Amino acid sequence: MNQFTKVVLLIIIVLVISFAITIILYFNMRNIERENMNQALEITNENSKLNDKINEFASQNEILIDNYSIDSNKIGIEVNKNTITSKRVSIVITNNNENQISCSEEFKIQQQIDNNWKYLEYLPHTIWDSIALTINGNSQITKELNIEYYYGKLDEGIYRIVKYIGGTYIYSDEFEIE
């Protein structure tokens, strides 16, 4: 066997081995793809079952929510006039419902400009605590608001506080910064 024949034979063997490896890898990839597809389908089915359970739970609890009525007209926010500064203010949240209510710490401020109420922008990177305020039925709480921390110092003008309570926005009485 001459040198040329050996080289050609070696090339053919390398090509056959490469082809065999390629086929093996192809079928392994197909199997992995099939397994991933089956896992994805299983996860999708599990998620679908969980969503069905969540929807069932939610529909059962809608009855409870309907029985747990909150009248937003019986919720009020009053600014404590003795505490008004351009940096802080205290508010009194009154719940005249029989049931307790809760709301987040978050509040918004509106300023009256040309007889229209405009929301002020929060300072950049504002973060709210995830603490809930709970107000028992037929009671009230006082909450001091650190305006400067969330909005900066307020300019002269007429303002009001806005809080999301009981599924609706509740507006305080107006207050003035002089």
pLDDT in tens, 35-63: 877 787 787 777 777 766 766 665 554 43
Same domain assignment for residues 77 and 141: yes
Q: What pLDDT digit, counting tens, does each position of 6-46 carry?
A: 888 888 998 889 888 988 888 888 888 888 777 877 877 77
> What is the extent of the structural domain holding 7?
1-68
Q: Are residues 60 and 83 in the same domain?
A: no
Confidence (pLDDT) at 170: 94
Within this chain, do residues 84 and 158 fall inside the same structural domain, yes or no?
yes
Residues 82 and 152 in one domain: yes
- Could you say which of 68, 85, 115 is where a domain stops? 68
- pLDDT of 98-128, one tens digit each? 888 989 899 999 999 999 999 999 999 888 8
Q: Transcribe 104-159 into DSSP letters.
A: ES--EEEEEETTEEEEPPPPTT-----PEEEE-TTEEEEEEEEHHHHH-SPPSEEE
Whether 130 and 76 map to the same domain: the answer is: yes
23 and 111 share a domain? no
How many domains are there within the chain?
2
Residues 106 and 160 in one domain: yes
Asked whether residue 169 falls in the same domain as residue 110, the answer is yes
pTM of the complete model: 0.62
State which of 18, 45, 68 marks the end of a domain.
68
Q: Are residues 59 and 80 in the same domain?
A: no
The verdict on 173 and 98 lying in the same domain is yes
